[in-house]
Amino acid sequence: MPGRRIDLHTHSTASDGTTPPDVLVREAAAAGLDVLALTDHDTTGGWSAAEQALPDGLALVRGAEISCVHDGISLHLLAYLFDPEEPRFRSARVELRDSRTKRAERMAQLLEADGTGVTWARVREIAGGTVGRPHVAQALIEQGHVTTVSQAFTPEWIGTYGRYWVDKTELDVLDAVRLVAAAGGVSVFAHPRATRRGRTVADEVIVAMAEAGLGGLEVDHVDHDDAARDQLRVLAADLDLLVTGSSDFHGTAKTVQLGARTTDEQEYERLVAAATGLAVLQP
């Protein structure tokens, strides 16, 4: 029997994906996936719609992707199967979302003041759920300033430290690892070597994260080249971390397709066994 097809990192309209969560689970099943994780930025807001629409044959791993920082470098931590009611991690997510709202409003105000036609009202409308820069990018596309989301992620627009970029609150990554563990979840460092998104952290930081309770590394990701993948696999083996692969699907906001990268069955089983917060939802 061939192994199950497992995609552990996807976004819906609850954050900066363009596919509603109920549609996402149906598309995942249609794409031949057996296991899907929903990991919207800083929110569990898409979970219930995904649960209710869960099609036959698809297992759902409930998760989130947490905005973190270490030494001024932004990084993302995937959190899986944590108890969503656990108060400390829950209030951390609320704070992260509040900060996202404030900074997006500020970016929209700066853009409006410069006569771009972008408004906060419109950005908020585009976002629906957790607001992110891709929604501001969408507003820039609507106003004809850029033609793709990526073109907005440049110094002239909302690229990091760019003209209209505004900082947001991020959790110290070691605190985040501990918060996820305390909520019964398993954490996986998302795209640790995605250099085109900005600076990445040194191996020593990953060692410290492992000591704090990190569960794994996302190795197979479109933003990693072969050398990065090889190096991360060695590091994961050294630190006894599990290894995942995933699409980081964002709907039409990015070109990657569901299931473009997948996680090995044994690694997935290890992740599920380590979680105490929630069970995987089987249809």
Q: Which residues bind ligand AMP (CB under 6 A)?
A: 16, 41, 132-134, 149-150, 153, 197, 250
54 contacts 281 by C-beta, under 8 angstroms: yes
Among ligand AMP, Zn ion, Fe ion, none, what does residue 63 contact (CB within 5–8 Å per kind)?
A: none
Considering only 75-83, 100-108, 112-120, 272-280, which stretch makes contact with Fe ion by CB under 5 A? 75-83
Tell me the β-bridge partners of 216.
188, 242
Return the range that interacts with Fe ion (CB under 5 A); candidates 68-76, 90-98, 203-211, 259-267.
68-76
Q: Which of 244, 248, 267, 278 binds Zn ion (CB under 5 A)?
A: 248
Q: How far apart are CA 33 and CA 48, in angstroms?
A: 20
Cross-strand bridge partners of residue 171: 68
170 sits near Zn ion (criterion: CB under 5 A) = no
Determine which residue in the list 36, 45, 64, 76 makes contact with Fe ion, applying CB under 5 A: 76
Closest approach, Cβ 113 to Fe ion, in A, equals 26
Residue number, 34 or 232, with CB nearest to Fe ion:
232
| Chain residue whose CB lies nearest ligand AMP | 132
Which partner, Zn ion, Fe ion, ligand AMP, none, binds residue 40 by CB below 5 to 8 Å per kind?
none
Among 61, 118, 190, 228, binds Fe ion (CB under 5 A): 190
118 vs 258 by CB, closer to Zn ion: 258
Give the residue from 137, 113, 115 showing the smallest Cα distance to 126. 137
d(C-alpha 33, C-alpha 197), whole Å: 28
Closest CA to 170 of 80, 64, 96, 73: 96
Burial (CB count <10 Å: 0-12, 13-18, 19+), residue 169: middle
Cβ pair 24, 1 in contact under 8 A? no
